[in-house]
Structure formats: structure tokens, C-alpha cells
A and B are shown apart, each in its own frame.
Chain A
């Protein structure tokens, strides 16, 4: 905050402060009740250790945090989560962008294609996962492959419905970005001798980089938290080969304390990765007002 802003804030009178508080109160109440209180309760839960399979709990302070976050289970879950992100996000980003570029033109009936491409966004996660489950069924599927029981392919099989489903999201967001690129700038590039590929890579993509950055962050967070696809396609198997961090948390239904610690671990992992994306990529993003 600059000095100027601070001085201005000091000048608000009691009536203005009261009014501002009144306007902020509803959203603040929602945040406190549904986010801050549950989050602090979660942190607290992590300090209780389950005794005899959840019969009772005893307070162990930060010991359980040290134990769980330093243990193999957390590490393995984190590795699987990162693998899942790497399998889904780049593919979704690239395919979504290509589809949006292909559908961003003035053609008769293009709206129909745009509606089709974005429709995956409106389908249910469970339904799309079940469709993929049957597509890859070794006995009755269209592609009779046994990826679900192959430890090297299980996570990939669970990644496919995610990619398919979020293609619609990526498409809609990138298309909105493309529509904001002024025609005149692209025409100027055409006159400057830029061919279609050069226009895309030198002009269009840099101009929509804030949108791509937003999409990347969102997709990474959503992929980190993906659950139904894994649950339906592989159920974490075979032998835990596709158990991501979220799936490991789900497994702790008998041990709330450990589940809470893993959840806190997931929260901070997501935060660190998002922060890193901003630090590494933000310099390459062009925002209009720079």
C-alpha cells in the first residue's frame, strides 16, 4: 500500500467505515463459517491420533504432522498426484487451445461446433468416467485394453476422462481470450508478412497469455484434486499404483487425524505449486497495461 492510500484510508469517517463493514459482512461471514473455521478445525484435527482404529483419539501435538508428512504414504500420493497433473494438464491445455483456434473463425454454423466442443464441460464427471470405464473394458469395451490392472497404465487410464471433460473448460476459456484479440492487430500482422503459424505464435498466443496462465493454474489445481475419475476407473489400483493424494485422504475414513494431516499437506502442496507457476511463468505473461 502506498503512503497516499494509507492517508486516504485514515480520512474515512465513522459512517463510511460502518457502511463498508456492512457491505463486506455477508461475504466475510461466508468465508469465516465455510472456510476459516473448518480450516482451523482441520489443523486442530491433525494433532489428534486415532487409537484402536478410530475408537478414540489422543492429542499428540505436531508429532503426527511430522510422522505423516515425512512418511512414504504422503510422498507416494504426492508423486502420483504430480504424475496425474503432468498427464492431464499439458494435454488439456494444448488440445483446448488448438480446438479454440480452429473454432475461432467467422463461418456459418460455427456456433454449433463451439457448442459441441464446450459441451463436455456440462457433462457429469461420474457419467464421463463410467463411459471411459466401459470404453476400455477388456471384455466388452470398444478398445479392449487392460490398462486398469497395469500399474504403468492405470493412472493414464484415469487421466483420459479428465482430459476429455476439461477440454470443454479449456476450449471456452481460450475461445473467450481469442475473441478479445483485436482483428486489426492480426490484420496488421498479415500485412507485415506473418503467415498463419507465425501469427499464432508471435501475436495471438502472447496476447492471450494471461488467459493461458489462468487456465494453467486452474487446471493444475483441479487435477490435483481430481477424485471421481480415479475412483471409478481404477479405484486407486492396482496395488495403490494410482492412489493420488486425494485418494489417500479418502482412504482415511477410519482415521480422521491422519486424513486431516494429509489434507493440510495437499493444501500446502497446491499452494506451493501455484506460487511456483506464478514466479516462473508470470514474467513471460503479457498483461495489457504493462
Chain B
């Protein structure tokens, strides 16, 4: 097991090296960050001074080596713009994104799993057909459009038309509380209200994915002998579906959700922009626009580590869900 984790971390390190080199070269080719930062009227001397102060006067490979050297010592550089350490900037924004994605995953699971299992149990019912058609909309509608529509309906139209209908907040983050030094809005009523629309926007796609996956797996598991044997044992239908079928369905759901979670955290940019959610995605977008290289590089480094850790967690979850996986790890 330990060997396995170490191997994973080494892979992560390799990906980080390749990634940082690519980003370095990429941003170098796009343009000159200095031009974005100082006024166009500035003299060449001023320009060179800024360039030298940021270390941008050196050749690219030297800049890269300097970065690697600092990064190995835990320093990922300072934002060209804010002057704050890049990592600190990102970590400040991270809880907002994490709680948004977490909340949307919870919604997606709570709605998608029962619907998918139902559609798998009664594939020919009208309800199942409605769910399956709906799920196609769920993952084919573009995210930004869904977000805008939700704002239209729940923050504008319905409250305008129906007196007393709560006007759901459509932008920004609500009140936060400090939990172990991290500011979270999950635990305040106002925070949850603010979370609702952006989380729903993200949850739609995830939920649709879960519905289809749960249905397909349920259809696969139901004709299995062990389900028929469970019936022959005289178990109640609730027990058969809730334990025998569901536990087998959870295995693929865990994998896909793990990947989806990482994907959303890294690239919830669009939803965050639509709802002016102060998360990491918006930071990344702003940093790319302003060619703020240290932030972009640091961001991608974090994402790489995040994905590796997430995959590791999914693997561990696997062994909880599927005893056949557990045996192999015990043998080593």
C-alpha cells in the first residue's frame, strides 16, 4: 500500500514538472506580462526596471530553473499583480470553490441516485422514461445557459410574478463562519441560500451523469443470480434494492463522482463567473487574462496534486465498497 502511494506521488511530481514547463512556455508565447501591468506611457527604462524586478529579463530557461529551485523549497512565487504569494491567493479562494462543488455533488447524488435506480427497476414506466429524457437535457445544456436561466426564473421571474416567493440570491457568497480557520458559508442560512443556484447549476450535469450510470448498473445487477437468490431467501424488496443492488451500484458511481469532483473544482470557472462566486476558477480566469504567470502555474500545480489525492481517495473508497479489491492490497 505504501509503495503504491509513493508511486502515485512520484507520478504526480512528474506531471507537475511537465505541466509547469508547458505553462511557462505557453504564457511566454502569449505575451508580455509587463505590458499588461504598467501604463503604456511608461518609458523603456521604467519598463526594464519592472521587468528586472520580476526576473523577466532573464532567458526563459533560466527563469524556469529559478522557479523550479524556489518551488522545491516551497516558494511558488508572488503574483505579479497583487504582490502576495501565489499559493496564499489560491488558498484563500479554495474553500469557496470546494464548498460549492461539495454541495452540488451532494445534491446530484441525493437526486440522481434514487432516480437512476428507479429508472433501472422500472425501465418501461412513464416515470423512468421521463427521467431518462430529462437526463439528456441535463448533460447537453450548456452550463452558463442553465445558470442564467436559473437566475432568470428564481431570482427574477418567479419572485416578480408570485408575491411572497423568496428571491434567491444570484450573485456572490453569503455570510460565512470560521470553521477551523477556514471561512465556510455552508453552515449559515444565508450562505446556503447563496449556494443554492450555483450548486444547482453544477449539479444538473453531475446528476444527469449519475442517473444514467445508476440506471445502467442497476439494469446490469438486477438479473444477477445473487439478486434472485436474495429473493429466494425471502428478503424484502427494500432490503434487496437498498443493500444488495445499491452496494454494487456504488462502485462505478464512486469512480465517476471522484473524477467529476476534481473536474468541477478545477474548472467550475463558468459557473463561478455567471454567479460572481469568489472561487478559484474566477481567480484562474483573471490571472490568465492578465498573464499573471505565478498564479497560473501555482494553480495548476495545486490541481495536479488535487487530482492525485482525489484518485487516491477514490481507490481507498473502492476497497471499502468492493472487498475483492481489498484482498489484493492485503496480500502485498
A and B physically associate: no
Q: Identify the A interface with B (CB < 8 A).
A: none
Q: Identify the B interface with A (CB < 8 A).
A: none
